[in-house]
Amino acid sequence: MDTTDRCTVNSLREVPGCDPSAGAVRWDPVHSLWNGGMLAAALLLAPVYASWGAVTVFLVLTGASLLLGHSVGFHRRLIHRSFDCPLWLERALVWVGNCVGMSGPFWMIRTHDLRDWAQRQAHCHDYLAHRQPMLIDAWWQLHCRLTLDHPPAFDLGAAGKDRFYRFLEATWMAQQLPLALLLYLGGGWGWVIWGVCVRVSASVTGHWYVGHLAHRRGPQSWLVKDAGVQAHDIPWAAIPTMGEAWHNNHHAFPGSARIGLYPGQSDWGYAFIRALAAMGVAWNIALPEDLGRDKVLARVGPA
């Protein structure tokens, strides 16, 4: 295990006067039209093209992309760097994460790290804390963006210089087209609607919904001292989120590759990382006991 602090907010750089509390929520036309279009296609066309094959494609692709791409590739590797792996594997996992359909890798890093940093402060904007009622928060998170009056800076490091990641950032929506073509060849329009539109809409909406609940209600084992926003676990969402729904654990140990920490806490993302390690393509895996978080945590629930 190296001595790197795996719990830092990796890409964000504080600058004099930066403030996570003052800013304006504005409509984001790119993500709004994308998210709204996928939802409309799912609601209007999915019933027409429903079949056992199409639903199976939806389930398999959604599970695989959330596990390999969003949970392991984007979140635990690219954002938190909670394990090391060859660059070719990182790029493959990040490409799968890109295909989840939320946005490109740079947007995902900045959005995550801004929220991560803000929630550790004494005060932050309601947008960053999921503090508004559900319908308002849904509109904000799925169709808007926050423009802070005094934002921090970002340095994406090696990822920001990577030509492949720059390509994904510029073409993140178009990355659905090769997949759509393969699905069309395999099962026609039904597979395209369920394998792209329904999958993307369910992933994006589900990501917001679990995130909203995880900052408002649910079990807690830990409080992070001096943090203005605390997290909760969402047990029923552990399997569909591949372990990400143990969000109270994640706030407590943000650099840990393992998020489901206690008996009965399913964590398929960590299980996949262990499988990679068994194959010799993942190493330096950070766990809670490696992170030295005792001074910033207070236990409030059973282990």
pLDDT in tens, 113-132: 999 999 999 999 999 999 99
Alpha helices in 46-133 (DSSP H): 52-64, 87-99, 105-119, 126-129
238 near 267, Cβ under 8 Å?
A: yes
1: pLDDT confidence band, cut at 50, 70 and 90? very low
Residue 247, both tokens: 């969000």
pLDDT band for position 8 (cuts 50, 70, 90) = confident
Would 230 be classed as within a structural domain? no
Cα 210 versus chain centre, distance: 11
How many separate domains does the chain show? Answer: 1
Q: Is residue 233 part of a domain?
A: no
The answer to whether residue 96 sits within a structural domain is: yes
* pLDDT at 177 (0 to 100): 97
Q: Judge whether 159 and 229 are in contact, CB under 8 Å.
A: no
Report CA-CA distances (Å) from 105 to 201, 222, 296: 18, 30, 30
The residue-averaged pLDDT of 62-83 equals: 97
Segments forming the whole domain that contains residue 51: 24-219+271-289
107: CB partners within 8 A, 6+ apart: 169, 172
Reported as a single tens digit per residue, the pLDDT across 26-56 is 999 999 999 999 999 999 999 999 999 999 9
Instruction: Fill in the amino acid letter for 252.
Output: A
Does residue 226 lie in a domain region? no
In a domain, 53, yes or no: yes
How many Cα atoms sit within 13 Å of 42 on the Cβ side?
20
The proportion of the chain whose per-residue pLDDT surpasses 90, expressed as a percent, equals 93
Please report which helix (H) or strand (E) contains residue 298, including its range: strand 297-299
Residue 16 lies in a domain: no
Whether 135 is covered by a domain: the verdict is yes
CA triple 56-34-51, angle to 5 deg: 20
Query: For 176-229, what is each residue's pLDDT tens digit?
Result: 999 999 999 999 999 999 999 999 999 999 999 999 999 999 999 999 999 999
Encoding tokens for residue 245?
């729904």
Is the predicted pLDDT of residue 291 greater than 50, yes or no? Answer: yes
Say if 224 falls within a structural domain: no
